[in-house]
Amino acid sequence: MKVCSLDTQGAVKVSGCIHDFSPRVIHAFHAYHAGRVARLTAHGLGIPYIVTLTGSDVYEALHDFRKEETHAVLREASAVVAFAKSVKRRILELFPGMAEKTFIIPQGVASPCGHFHVKRQWLPEARFLFFLPAGLRPVKNVLFPLAPLAELCRKDPGIGFVLAGPVLEAGYAAEVLTELDRYPFAHYLGAVSHESIGYIYRKSGVILNTSLFEGGMANSVLEALSFGRPVLASDIEGNRSIIKEGMTGLLYRDGVEFQEKAHRLVTDVRLRERLGEQGRQFVMEHCRPEAEADAYLALYEKVVSGNIRIHEPLRSCERVF
C-alpha cells in the first residue's frame, strides 16, 4: 500500500507516483479533489478505483459548479464509501442505481495514550474551557459560539474559549481573527500538533463542533469522545450520526439553545462525566480503527476480484450508524 497526498504534491506527481507503484486498485479520499485524479489514472492503468465521500462532496460539490466532474467520478467508481447512513441516503437520492456499490464504513479513532504537552502560554487562564478544533473555512462556522459564550462570560468570568486549526481559506481566517479581538475570553492557537491537541482535549471542559455540515463523522468529535470529553455540537445530519442527544453528547439548533446547553454543561459536573463516559464507550465499541481497516481490506479484495457485492462484512456498521 502506498499513500500519495494531494496536499503536498500536485495531481501530475500523484498520478506519476501511482503509476510507479503499479497498484491493483486506487482509493481516493474526497470525490472531487482526489477522485478526479484517481479516475484518470485508473483509466490509464486499466484498474478499478473506489471513493470515500467527504462532507464537501455531498453537500457542495455534487450540486455546484463541480457537479459534472464529481458525478462522473462516482458513476465510474467500482465502489463508493460513506461514513454514515445519512450520507448514503443522499447519494442514492441522486443516483438510485448506485445502491449495490455504495457502502458504509464508519471512521475509526485510536484510543488516546501517552503523555501530551503544550506550551503553557498557549492556553488562557480560565476555570472552564470550551475548545473548538476546526480548520478556518466558512463551513466550520467558528464564529458562531462567540456571542452566546459572551453572555455566559458576563455571569461567569472564569469561562474561556480556544480555537485551534490550520488556515484553510485566508479571507475567512482574516475575518475570524478580527472578530476574535472583540472577545477577550476567546483565543486562537493556530495549527497545533497531534500531541498538543491531545493535551488541550484533556484540559477542556467541553468540546465544540459548530459546522454547517459534516460528511457523517467529524474527526474532532470522534477524538473528543475517545478522550471522554463531553461534546456540544450543531444539530446537523453528520453530527447526528455520532451524537445521540443526552447520551453521547448534546446538540443545539440555534444560539439560544447553544447558550442554554453550554450553561448546563458548565454547571453540571455529573452531566459532563456521564456524557464523556458514554461517548468514550460508544467509540470504543463502534469506531475501532481495526474494524475500519478490515472493512476496507475486504472492499479492496472484492473490487479487485470483480465481486463488489460485499454487504455482509458491513452490516454491523449499518445497524449502528
CA distance linking residue 66 with residue 173, whole number of Å: 24
DSSP 8-state class, residue 96: G
Amino acid at residue number 54: T
Please give the CATH topology (third level) of the domain spanning 11-106+288-320: Rossmann fold (3.40.50)
pLDDT at position 113 is: 55
- pLDDT band at residue 5, thresholds of 50, 70 and 90? confident
Residues of the chain with CATH 3.40.50.2000: 11-106+288-320, 120-286
Helices H / strands E in the chain, number of each: 14, 10
Cell of 257: 439553545
Cell of 135: 480548520
pTM listed for this prediction: 0.84
CA distance linking residue 8 with residue 89, whole number of Å: 33
- pLDDT tens sequence across 104-157: 999 998 866 544 555 544 677 889 999 999 999 999 999 999 999 999 999 999
Output the average pLDDT for the chain.
Answer: 89
Report the CATH architecture of 120-286: 3-Layer(aba) Sandwich (3.40)
